[in-house]
């Protein structure tokens, strides 16, 4: 079989899309290859379609010239490879130009969006239309793609993102356009109301796969609850982590907390909150940028952020809400210090502290914390934010740095993302081993374990390093890999993997992956779509 004819592919892509939509110069390639994970790939070209017809044309040309392409929605897959393809010599198909919100159906509670639509874009649209609806946001940037994250099975504040998708429009590797569910019936009104459709349900084949390019999908919208209260639980001793997890799982089992409960270690809490507190101190004139780090961390220490803190939510009908909150407080009280926080209470606290801070340094410190918490608290109410991004650079030291794109900064970031059983002692033991592995390579683990339901937890374990230090890059990648191997040994595979770890889960001798490879022959017989992504081919 002949290899790719890149010269012919580039010529035909430019003819089909326009000269300005296909770039292969050194500067453009270097810009898209730069990534926060410190990985490298050879990229022949970047292709930027603006419509489904463009995507069809790109795929047919790719197939004709055997030129592989790797689709990205907006490429903000930070810590997992960003915009990079799984393998060298694969062109990047940048779908950010497909950025239309095609439909908002308020009664059916769904939006139909293209892959370039961001969290912030959908939020602003819902707000402009004054619709009492929200969607399953993630703690990543407001500029991240809804579809891209969902197709990699990202987890939002309410549930798994993939479970919120319906009625996919997919360009297959053959150049055909497939509509899943009822979407292939002309005039179907229930495509985004009843996901399976009739016959085999194909939606799941296009999550974490390389069978096709999703160019649109329905995203479920959620009604705003009548009452909503955030629950913050803090523990003072490492030994209390297991009982805290068990207590949260029991509350979820009993229906007293809803959505995803987040349990983060001190490192996670500090890298998330400290840069925002520091920004508040600098903005108020209370601190110079050079001293902001020390002051912010001292304030958080005084506020009692111990080894682990949990955030959960009680929401639903107004009737019985206070009783549910009391029961949650009663259940968590023996293992943690509990604070209940509603949006109204947070607003009142901000106003009171703003007044008292005129003459009280303690109140001024507390005001900085409250203002830092506000955008993070908003995530639990479906409001996306970019205020989580300073956490990427914070572990490297120095003054707070705010960048809208960590790929263009100096800090490195890698993730390990296992699924764990919601069993407190098991989780505590597994995380202790991960921290030991990281420490052996000279790193601290920033950890969140998110209670997905009453039985399972998503581990979000991140590692920060200096990208301009080759030795640190090598040690960071070794630490992540060793942690993933240890978790696999414990029976906890990752639910998402970065480019450097694909070979740990995609194994040639495994019947599962052999079947997946045979499915590739059906949907993409020439293997032009993202070779090696969750597949042997």
**Ordered DSSP codes for 360-378:** -HHHHHHHHHHHHHHHHHH
Cα separation, 63 vs 134, in Å, equals 40
Task: State whether residue 272 is helix, strand or coil.
Answer: helix
Question: How far out from the chain centre does Cα 246 lie?
Answer: 25
Cα separation, 89 vs 69, in Å, equals 9
Cα separation, 136 vs 162, in Å, equals 10
Q: Which residues of the chain have pLDDT under 70?
A: 1
Which element (helix H / strand E) includes 29?
A: helix 26-33
Question: How far out from the chain centre does Cα 457 lie?
Answer: 15
Distances in Å between the Cα of 379 and the Cα atoms of 152, 192, 308 are: 20, 25, 20
CATH code, residues 1-224:
3.30.465.10
pLDDT at 1: 57
Q: What are phi and psi of 221, to 5 degrees?
A: -105, 150
Structure tokens given for 138:
């993630």
Cα separation, 530 vs 81, in Å, equals 13
| CB 92 within 8 Å of CB 43 | yes
The answer to whether domain 1-224 and domain 410-505 are alike in fold is: no
Question: How far out from the chain centre does Cα 486 lie?
Answer: 23
pLDDT at 338: 94
CATH code, residues 410-505:
3.40.462.10
The owner of tokens 């089909």 is: 16
Question: How far out from the chain centre does Cα 427 lie?
Answer: 21
Domain boundaries, the chain: 1-224, 236-396, 410-505
- Four-residue CA torsion sign, 92, 96, 97, 98: positive
Cα separation, 143 vs 314, in Å, equals 28
Structure tokens given for 475:
């040690």
pLDDT at 520: 97
pLDDT at 361: 86
Task: State whether residue 424 is helix, strand or coil.
Answer: helix
pLDDT at 254: 96
Cα separation, 146 vs 137, in Å, equals 8
pLDDT at 404: 85
- Four-residue CA torsion sign, 148, 101, 18, 58: positive
């Amino acid at each position: 079989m002949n290899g790719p004819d890149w010269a012919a592919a580039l010529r035909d892509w430019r003819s089909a899309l326009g000269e300005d939509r296909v770039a292969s110069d050194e500067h453009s390639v270097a810009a898209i290859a730069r990534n926060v994970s410190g990985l490298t790939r050879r990229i022949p070209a970047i292709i930027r379609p603006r419509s489904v017809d463009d995507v069809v044309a790109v795929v047919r040309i790719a197939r004709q010239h055997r030129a592989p392409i790797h689709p990205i929605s907006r490429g903000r897959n930070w810590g997992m490879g960003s915009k990079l393809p799984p393998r060298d010599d694969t062109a990047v198909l940048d779908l950010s130009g497909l950025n239309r919100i095609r439909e908002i159906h308020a009664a059916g509670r769904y939006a139909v969006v293209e892959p370039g639509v961001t969290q912030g874009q959908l939020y602003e649209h819902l707000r402009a239309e004054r619709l009492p609806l929200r969607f399953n946001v993630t703690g990543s940037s407001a500029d991240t793609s809804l579809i891209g994250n969902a197709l990699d099975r990202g987890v939002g504040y309410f549930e798994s993102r993939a479970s919120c998708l319906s009625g996919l429009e997919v360009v297959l590797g053959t150049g055909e356009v497939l509509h899943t569910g009822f979407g292939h019936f002309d005039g179907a009104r229930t495509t985004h109301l009843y996901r399976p459709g009739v016959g085999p349900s194909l939606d799941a084949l296009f999550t974490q796969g390389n069978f096709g390019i999703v160019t649109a999908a329905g995203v479920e919208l959620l009604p705003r609850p009548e009452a909503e209260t955030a629950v913050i639980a803090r523990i003072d001793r490492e030994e209390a982590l297991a009982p805290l997890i068990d207590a949260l799982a029991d509350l979820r089992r009993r229906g007293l907390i809803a959505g995803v409960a987040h349990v983060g270690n001190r490192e996670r809490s500090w890298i998330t909150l400290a840069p925002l507190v520091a920004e508040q101190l600098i903005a108020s004139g209370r601190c110079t940028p050079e001293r902001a780090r020390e002051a912010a961390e001292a304030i958080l220490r005084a506020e009692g952020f111990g080894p682990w803190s949990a955030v959960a939510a009680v929401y639903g009908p107004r009737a019985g809400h206070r009783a549910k909150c009391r029961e949650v407080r009663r259940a968590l009280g023996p293992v943690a210090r509990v604070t209940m926080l509603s949006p109204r209470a947070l607003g009142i606290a901000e106003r009171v502290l703003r007044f008292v801070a005129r003459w009280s340094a303690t109140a001024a410190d507390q005001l900085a914390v409250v203002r830092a918490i506000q955008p993070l608290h908003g995530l639990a109410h479906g409001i996306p934010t970019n205020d989580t991004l300073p956490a990427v650079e914070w572990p490297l030291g120095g003054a707070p740095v705010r960048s809208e794109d960590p790929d263009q900064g100096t800090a490195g970031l890698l993730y390990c993302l296992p699924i764990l059983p919601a069993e407190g002692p098991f989780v505590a033991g597994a995380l202790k081993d991960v921290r030991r592995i990281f420490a052996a390579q000279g790193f601290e683990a920033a950890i969140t374990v998110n209670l997905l339901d009453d039985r399972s937890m998503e581990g979000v374990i991140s590692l920060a390093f200096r990208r301009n230090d080759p030795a640190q890059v090598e040690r960071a990648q070794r630490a992540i890999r060793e942690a993933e191997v240890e978790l696999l040994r414990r029976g906890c595979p990752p639910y998402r993997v970065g480019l450097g770890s694909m070979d740990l889960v995609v194994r040639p001798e495994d019947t599962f992956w052999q079947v997946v490879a045979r499915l590739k022959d059906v949907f993409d017989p020439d293997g032009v779509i993202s070779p090696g992504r969750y597949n042997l081919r």
